[in-house]
Chains A and B, each alone.
Chain A
């Protein structure tokens, strides 16, 4: 069976510090991968998605970047965090042939 991991689960960072959130998927090959942000009391905003190693599509201009160094690894980064980067970050995967997405447990990021 497939599983998706995210870490860390929670993170408190000062403004201006760097960020690295990691997501890994087990039990499948060549998945599509997605990063979402969920601000408090709001819906999900798609930030990035990837259909293969090294292939990243950005959905909104922002202070964040994403990378996919391995088939089942997706990393969300920032060089300098802003207060507005606070939120709940969710990683998801989907089979190439399907459209049903499976979500990880999320990372709660607080920027102070």
Chain B
């Protein structure tokens, strides 16, 4: 079945550092890929998405490129802020009925001054 693997956290960075959170996937067909963010005590918010190979999703300074050849969708940001501290989830869409999503286990990011 489909699966998503994310790098283990927590990740601790200083403000203005470069961020990479790795995500690889296993899926049949051509899923859409997503990054969601969860701030403490809240639900998930969609951060960005890509629907086909070589698409780049971007939002709020975050970017991720759909790499079919390496089955990856790594999240990057050039300069993180304290307000970026949250848990980040990579996910892919199910190609079957119900539009289900398969999530990675999440990566906690902590940004310090």
A: which residues have CB within 8 A of B? 6, 32, 34, 42-44, 46, 49, 51, 57, 90, 92, 94, 96, 98-106, 108
Contacts and interface: CB of A to CB of B under 8 A. Distances in A.
B43 interface: yes
Interface stretch (B44-52, B66-74, B77-85): B44-52
Nearest to B9: A41
Contact of A51 (B45, B46, B97): B97
B105 interface: yes
Given A42-B105, A99-B32, A105 B98 contact: no
B22 interface: no
Most chain B Cβ neighbours within 10 Å, of A90, A92, A99, A103:
A99
A92 B43 CA distance: 9
B103 interface: yes
A104 B45 CA distance: 9
Q: Is the interface of B mostly helix, strand, loop or mixed?
A: loop
B98 A49 contact: yes
Contacts, number: 52
Interface residues of B, number: 22
A49 B89 contact: no
B43 A99 contact: no
Contacts of A34: 100
Most chain A Cβ neighbours within 10 Å, of B44, B46, B99:
B99
Contact of A43 (B42, B45, B97, B103): B103
B76 to A, nearest CB: 21
Contact of B101 (A6, A51, A99, A104): A99
Given A44-B89, A44-B103, A46-B101, 5 more contacts: A57-B98, A99-B94, A100-B32, A101-B99, A108-B41
A44 B32 CA distance: 18
B89 A43 contact: yes
